[in-house]
């Protein structure tokens, strides 16, 4: 068993993404989940999971209970150790310094030596709500999203999706080595970039030549090793064979963008949903409103529907779809 340290404020959404890299994910407290097993390589690529630790156990959210748990635990490790305690979301009033000192003493008594700079093992001590979870750090996600701002790309347009969110959406859609991901409304290519960075082959289309060319420029410069293809195309009539991709991700036009490529907004989204269901078994559709009814009409089951507030005037609806 493993403990996952979730990122962001929406644990259900973070857990949904974590399911692409872990089995039987279950949120157990604010910012914390457990999983039966993990894929370390996949977990490193998650946007909304910070770390996974091999579970030692869980107990009440106080230092003495954590000490008793560690004293009773079976430990088949040796060498140097560091203890890292965290009060997740400041949900408790536990002193993390006291926790690190107390549990470090327990480990020293059990034969470990302390190395705070480069330890052989790191014990994570996680307090949240009314629970404390102990685990041996196994893997951390690669937190490089802040280094890849949309404004730093060769081709940029206002309104580009943040890399953090784009990464989460492609993970939920099943992106990874050996998989093909399609964005039929690719814009500047932010979704395609994140899918390529986790090892997927990417296919993009956009109704505007400017966007298709810009996406190609971004992919060529920022993911030179990736396999990709971007064309000018209509999301409601894709030049792709049935079942030719593994997952679809697209950011549907928002209310002010009412006419694109000869379609009104409703017809555009409905047509894109139908085409997505033709070419892939799974999709993540992002919009400024619920398109759940249109998704069902297009042949999808709505597995999850998240509402994620971006700012005062925008809430994103994230539809996680599986083909009916």
Tokens for 18?
A: 């974590």
Domain map of the chain by residue range? 2-140, 145-323
Contacts of 3 (CB under 8 A, 6+ apart): 32, 33, 34, 35, 52, 53, 55, 124, 126, 133, 135
Whole-number Å distance between alpha carbons of 18 and 38: 9
pLDDT value of position 224: 94
Q: What is the pLDDT of residues 141-162, one digit of tens each?
A: 998 887 889 999 999 998 889 9
Is the separation of the CB atoms in 180 and 243 below 8 Å? no
> Where does the pLDDT of residue 115 fall: very low under 50, low under 70, confident under 90, or very high at 90 and above?
very high
Contacts of 6 (CB under 8 A, 6+ apart): 14, 15, 18, 27, 31, 32, 33, 48, 49, 50
pLDDT value of position 145: 81
Q: What is the pLDDT of residues 211-265, one digit of tens each?
A: 999 999 999 999 999 999 999 999 999 999 999 999 999 999 986 554 455 668 9
Q: What is the pLDDT of residues 251-266, one digit of tens each?
A: 999 865 544 556 689 9
Whole-number Å distance between alpha carbons of 102 and 56: 16
pLDDT value of position 258: 45
Q: Please name the CATH architecture into which domain 2-140 falls.
A: 2-Layer Sandwich (3.30)
pLDDT value of position 260: 55
pLDDT value of position 193: 97
pLDDT mean across residues, the chain: 95
Query: Can you name the residues that pair with 34 across neighbouring β-strands?
Result: 3, 26
Instruction: Specify the CATH superfamily of domain 145-323.
Output: Vaccinia Virus protein VP39 (3.40.50.150)
Would you give the distance in Å from CA 213 to the centre of its chain?
Answer: 27
Mean pLDDT of the region 64-76: 97
Whole-number Å distance between alpha carbons of 51 and 54: 10
pLDDT value of position 256: 53
Q: What is the pLDDT of residues 116-140, one digit of tens each?
A: 999 999 999 999 999 999 999 999 9
**Crossing angle (nearest 10°) for helices 11-18 and 163-172:** 50
Whole-number Å distance between alpha carbons of 145 and 190: 12
Q: What is the pLDDT of residues 2-54, one digit of tens each?
A: 999 999 999 999 999 999 999 999 999 999 999 999 999 999 999 999 999 99
Whole-number Å distance between alpha carbons of 256 and 273: 20
pLDDT value of position 259: 47
3-state secondary structure the chain: CEEEEECCCCHHHHHHHHCCCEECCEEEECCEEEECEECHHHHCCCCCEEEEEEEEEEEECCHHHHHHHHHHCCCCCCCEEEEEEEEHHHCCCCCHHHHHHHHHHHHHHCCCEECCCCCCEEEEEEEECCEEEEEEEEEECCCCHHHCCHHHCCCCCCCCCCHHHHHHHHHHCCCCCCCEEEECCCCCCHHHHHHHHCCCEEEEEECCHHHHHHHHHHHHHHCCCCCEEEEECECCECCCCCCCCCEEEEECCCCCCCEECCEEHHHHHHHHHHHHHHHCCEEEEEECCCCHHHHHHCCEEEEEEEEEEEECCEEEEEEEEEEC
Q: What is the pLDDT of residues 298-320, one digit of tens each?
A: 999 999 999 998 887 889 999 99
On the 0-12 / 13-18 / 19+ scale of CB atoms within 10 A, 52 is: buried
């Amino acid at each position: 068993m493993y403990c996952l340290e979730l990122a962001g404020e929406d644990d259900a959404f973070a857990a949904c993404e974590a399911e692409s890299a872990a089995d039987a994910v279950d949120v157990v407290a604010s910012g914390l989940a457990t999983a039966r097993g993990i894929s370390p390589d996949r977990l490193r690529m998650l946007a909304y999971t910070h770390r996974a630790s091999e579970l030692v156990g869980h107990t009440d959210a106080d230092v003495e209970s954590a000490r008793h748990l560690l004293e009773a635990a079976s430990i088949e490790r040796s060498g140097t150790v560091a203890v890292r305690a965290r009060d997740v979301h400041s949900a408790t009033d536990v002193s993390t310094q006291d926790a690190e000192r107390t549990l470090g003493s327990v480990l020293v008594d059990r034969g470990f030596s302390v190395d705070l700079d480069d330890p052989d093992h790191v014990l994570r001590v996680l307090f949240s709500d009314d629970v404390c979870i102990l685990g041996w750090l196994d893997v951390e996600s690669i937190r490089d999203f802040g280094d890849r701002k949309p404004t730093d790309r060769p081709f940029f347009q206002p309104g580009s999706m943040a890399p953090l969110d784009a990464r989460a959406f492609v993970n939920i859609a099943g992106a990874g080595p050996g998989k093909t991901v399609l964005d039929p409304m690719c814009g500047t290519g932010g979704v395609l970039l994140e899918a390529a960075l986790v090892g997927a082959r990417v296919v993009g289309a956009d109704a505007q030549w400017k966007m298709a060319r810009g996406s190609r420029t971004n992919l060529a410069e920022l993911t030179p090793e990736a396999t990709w293809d971007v064309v000018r195309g209509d999301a409601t009539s894709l030049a792709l064979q049935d079942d030719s991709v593994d997952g679809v991700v697209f950011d549907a036009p928002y209310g002010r963008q009412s006419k694109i490529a000869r379609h009104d907004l409703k017809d555009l989204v409905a047509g894109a949903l139908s085409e997505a269901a033709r070419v892939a078994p799974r999709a993540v559709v992002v919009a400024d409103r619920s398109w759940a009814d249109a998704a069902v009409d297009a042949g999808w089951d709505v597995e999850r529907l998240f509402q994620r507030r971006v700012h005062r005037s925008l809430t994103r609806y994230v539809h996680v779809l599986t083909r009916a």
